[in-house]
């Protein structure tokens, strides 16, 4: 227990760092995921191609490699940002590909006749998607989106290897101070458990309120 009590500030800093990464990257992933899902079902061929390439490349690229590309590659092109922001970009873009596919699968569950009926009433593609299709698709994609964001929270541990303050990275300092590595990781695991269970609880509430009855 003394590992936690004597280093509570260090754990707290790492915990808040992981929470910030998770929140900001989740927001970016949801926005980009929605945009790419819209592209993938758009009537414009170039949009569909762009969305498909985005998903295919990011889903088949190791996240660690993407971190190297963003944190070490972008500065070579003159884009210099704080490492935490680079980590948010890497995590958000990577996760957006999975959010996109979850949303697209939800869109495919909505009967095509509803979209055709909306278009017959003179609604544009954007209006049809936003007011008819997505509200129904949202109900069926709550569980997979929640699972994807939980995976994002755990994936944020990679950021510690790139000088970003997060929970897993606290083990380096504690190991140097001579604390038990086992208990160090036990309390790190507890921190991640709190974060993932919190996300799970939020989506459980959303599913109970808006989800499709089984």
Model confidence, pTM? 0.86
Instruction: Quick: pLDDT tens for 58-74.
Output: 999 999 999 988 888 88
Q: What is the pLDDT of residue 18?
A: 92
Q: Where are the alpha helices (DSSP H) in the chain?
A: 2-5, 8-40, 45-59, 63-68, 83-108, 112-120, 125-128, 134-155, 170-176, 181-210
Q: What is the pLDDT of residue 176?
A: 67
Residue 116 CB-density burial (10 A; 0-12 exposed, 13-18 middle, 19+ buried) = exposed
Residues in the chain predicted with pLDDT less than 70, given as ranges, are: 1-8, 175-179, 211-214
Q: What is the pLDDT of residue 213?
A: 54
Q: What is the pLDDT of residue 145?
A: 92
């Amino acid at each position: 227990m003394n590992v936690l009590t004597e280093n509570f500030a260090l754990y707290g800093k790492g915990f808040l760092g992981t929470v910030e990464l998770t929140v900001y990257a989740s927001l970016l992933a949801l926005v980009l995921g929605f945009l790419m899902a819209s592209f993938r079902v758009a009537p414009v061929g170039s949009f569909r191609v762009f969305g498909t390439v985005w998903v295919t490349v990011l889903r088949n690229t190791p996240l660690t490699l993407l971190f190297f590309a963003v944190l070490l590659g972008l500065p070579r092109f003159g884009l210099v940002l704080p490492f935490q922001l680079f980590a948010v970009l890497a995590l958000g873009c990577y996760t957006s590909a999975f959010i996109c596919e979850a949303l697209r699968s939800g869109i495919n569950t909505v009967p095509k006749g509803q979209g055709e009926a909306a278009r017959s009433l003179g609604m544009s593609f954007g209006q049809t998607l936003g007011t008819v299709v997505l509200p129904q698709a949202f109900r069926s994609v709550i569980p997979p989106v929640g699972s994807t964001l939980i995976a994002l929270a755990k994936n944020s541990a990679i950021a510690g290897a790139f000088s970003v303050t997060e929970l897993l990275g606290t083990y380096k300092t504690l190991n140097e101070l001579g604390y038990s590595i086992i208990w160090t990781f036990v309390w790190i695991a507890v921190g991640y458990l709190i974060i993932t269970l919190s996300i799970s609880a939020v989506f459980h509430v959303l599913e109970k309120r808006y989800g499709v009855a089984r």
